[in-house]
Amino acid sequence: MSPELIALIVIATLLALLFSGVPVFASLTLASILGLYLFKGPEGFSAVPNIFYGKLSHFVLVAIPLFILMGEILFYTGIGEDLYNFGSKWLHRVPGGLAMGTVVASTIFGAMCGVSVAGAATIGSFAIPEMLKRGYDRRLASGCVAASGALALLIPPSIGFILYGIIADESIGKLFTGGIIPGVILASMMMAYIGLVVKLDPSKAPRLEEVVTWRERFRVLLKAWSAIFLIFSVLGTIYLGIATPTESAAIGSAGAFFLALVVKKRLTWETFLRILRSTMYTTGMILLIFASAMLFGFVLTLLQVPQGLASFVAELELPGWIVMSAIMALLILMGMFLDGASVILIGTPILLPIVKALGFNGLWFGVVMMVTIEMAVITPPVGLNLYVIKGIAPREVSLEDIIRGALPFVFVEILSLVIFIGLPELVLWLPGKL
């Protein structure tokens, strides 16, 4: 049987398993085992434990449970509330200021833990009720939380960048740096969209009548010091060369524990056990998908699929922007049915050789991929942030409200993709300076 035919069978098997509801890690593993058997026979099975052990023993992966642990701790510390108060008080008189403050809070929170679900749940749990109490439109209130929570995928430290960096063999520290300017630009675009919507229809965000003094503004700014402390402990140690990304994750987790236990005094034994259970569950899910995706990538490479696709695309002699547009459209489509981690782990081994064959930078592609995956977490049917918001939002906010509120932000992100594809210097300039 030819490698081309085996590759078609493997990919068809994977798609059939995914659409039949089989978990992602099991679908990847079963399709990979079938491919190994068809290509090498029973002796091909020896690659399975070797790939699993070899990839999961990667030291950088230690950062994933540590960043997840930090996000879980922050969920219970009250830092999210401090950040929201900071953003909303300083933007108090701006039309749509509470929604814009939510974007600011989510951006800062994303710079502390890199877990989009944690950001959406933490900020949304008090931002949505507060906006609804002030007469904000349900769709605008829930949509801005779902979309801005996804910024954690792009704002460093991002777990998505860690996974991509391992697969693509790119510097995780440079990926973190490359996400800073695009993250700030995308957050600003979201705030601009909110401002435009409120200007066109002021009823969506009524102006607040109460007065916020400068004393109150500085008081909430001082209360947000813990966020600055954590951001510096994680990102500052990386950029100053004090720690690796993995070591900075440990520093950040320790800092979050200190804040929760000593400063905020909100860490009980029951809460601690709940944090550990949630961290282990999420970590286990991500690492299972990671190992099975690495096995699937190994099988595809064995069958020369990425190399063949890269050669085929190069021979077409199409303009690079057309091919990149098609790749982004494919990633968005994948994201509609798979979680973000799966999109990274399945898509990178197949698409990166094509991107590099066209002369594009691998670091730049990692950043634009994260922007694309941000859309995945706020688009149905598998938009994880949508269901997280539904779980923490007041009862009167329906899932339809959340989806319809988040969809306009998808178009904002598509516009940002056009900008980052047209101006790659926005991604590459800062990593080149460090």
Alpha-carbon gap, residue 86 to 224, rounded angstroms:
7
High-pLDDT (> 70) share of the chain, %: 98
**Averaged pLDDT of the chain:** 85
Rounded to an integer, the average pLDDT of 127-154 is 88
Alpha-carbon gap, residue 201 to 217, rounded angstroms:
28
Rounded to an integer, the average pLDDT of 172-200 is 93
Written as one letter, the residue type at 432 is G
Measured in whole angstroms, the distance separating CA 155 from the mean position of its chain's CA atoms is 8
Q: Which residues lie below 8 Å from residue 24, measured CB to CB, with a gap of 6+?
A: 18, 289, 292, 338, 339, 342
Own/partner pairs for 336-339, CB < 8 Å, 24+ apart? 336/376, 336/379, 336/380, 336/381, 336/382, 337/18, 337/19, 337/381, 337/382, 338/18, 338/24, 338/376, 338/382, 339/24, 339/376, 339/377, 339/382, 339/384
**Residue whose structure tokens are 């049917």:** 381
Alpha-carbon gap, residue 279 to 13, rounded angstroms:
31
Overall domain count for the chain:
1
State the pLDDT at residue 33: 92
pLDDT digits (tens, 9 = 90+) for 278-302: 888 888 888 888 888 888 888 888 8
Task: Identify the weakest region by mean pLDDT among 109-118, 139-148, 345-354, 397-406.
Answer: 109-118
Of 322, 371, 348, the C-alpha closest to 168 is 348
State the pLDDT at residue 382: 66
| Residue 284 · residue 290 · CB < 8 Å | no
State the pLDDT at residue 342: 80
Of 216, 234, 257, the C-alpha closest to 91 is 216
Rounded to an integer, the average pLDDT of 333-349 is 80
Q: What is the DSSP letter of 11?
A: H
State the pLDDT at residue 218: 81
State the pLDDT at residue 242: 86
How many CB atoms neighbour CB 20 within 10 A? 8
pLDDT digits (tens, 9 = 90+) for 26-62: 888 999 999 999 888 888 888 888 888 888 888 888 8
Rounded to a whole number of angstroms, the distance between the first and last alpha carbons of the chain is: 50
Own/partner pairs for 408-412, CB < 8 Å, 24+ apart? 408/143, 408/193, 408/197, 409/143, 409/144, 409/146, 409/147, 409/190, 409/193, 409/378, 410/147, 410/375, 410/378, 410/379, 412/147, 412/186, 412/189, 412/190, 412/193
CA distances from 234 to 126, 181, 224 (A): 26, 17, 16
State the pLDDT at residue 207: 77
pLDDT of 91 > 80? The answer is no
Q: Which residues lie below 8 Å from residue 310, measured CB to CB, with a gap of 6+?
A: 353, 354, 356, 357
Q: Is the dihedral of CA 85, 118, 104, 266 positive or negative?
A: positive
How many CB atoms neighbour CB 146 within 10 A? 30
Rounded to an integer, the average pLDDT of 148-169 is 88
State the pLDDT at residue 47: 86
Following DSSP, what letter does each residue of 19-42 receive, concatenated?
A: HTT--HHHHHHHHHHHHHHHHH-G
State the pLDDT at residue 181: 93
Alpha-carbon gap, residue 390 to 395, rounded angstroms:
8
Rounded to an integer, the average pLDDT of 179-204 is 93
Of 208, 34, 199, 145, the C-alpha closest to 378 is 145
pLDDT of 182 > 90? The answer is yes
Residue 170, token pair as written in the block: 């790119």
State the pLDDT at residue 73: 83
Residue 207's SS3 state is coil
Q: How confident is the model at residue 94 (pLDDT cuts 50, 70, 90)?
A: confident
Which runs of consecutive H residues, i.e. helices, occur in 57-137? 63-77, 79-90, 97-113, 116-133
State the pLDDT at residue 121: 78
Cα dihedral 182, 184, 187, 192 in deg (nearest 10): -100
pLDDT digits (tens, 9 = 90+) for 211-231: 777 787 788 777 777 777 888
Angle between helix 362-376 and 425-433 (nearest 10): 120
Of 368, 375, 366, 367, the C-alpha closest to 411 is 375
High-pLDDT (> 90) share of the chain, %: 19
pLDDT digits (tens, 9 = 90+) for 300-326: 888 888 778 777 777 777 787 888 888
Alpha-carbon gap, residue 123 to 388, rounded angstroms:
11
Residue 169, token pair as written in the block: 């063999």
Task: For residue 26, give its domain range.
Answer: 3-433
Rounded to an integer, the average pLDDT of 360-367 is 93
- Structure-model confidence comparison of residues 117 and 420, the more confident one: 420
